[in-house]
Amino acid sequence: AKMFGAYWCSHCYDQKQALGTEAMTKLEYIECATEGLNTQKTLCKKKKIPGYPTWEIGGTLFPGEQDLDELEKIINELK
């Protein structure tokens, strides 16, 4: 799973807090903001990220903040 976000995005911050520090160290976070640390703005444009946060799971984009139950449901449906 990958999470696309922006450093200034309050929903991204809330998503990171919900998942916790340990989970975030194991997930790939992609910064889309031009001024963000290690920005990957070109990749975000190429993938047509519709907003922040957006999750990419199994090659499918899931825009918006997701709670843990929603993420688990998405992952289980892709198995």
Bridge-partner residues for 30, per DSSP?
Answer: 4
Spatial separation of the C-alpha atoms in residues 48 and 61, rounded to whole Å: 10
pLDDT of residue 79: 75
pLDDT of residue 2: 95
The structure tokens 């090659």 sit at 59
CB contact set of 35 (below 8 Å; sequence gap of 6+): 7
From the list 40, 48, 67, 54, the residue with the least C-alpha distance to 9 is 54
The structure tokens 């198995």 sit at 79
**Can you give the pTM of this predicted structure?**
0.92
For the segment 38-79, what is each residue's pLDDT rounded down to a tens digit? Answer: 999 999 999 999 999 999 999 999 999 999 999 999 989 987
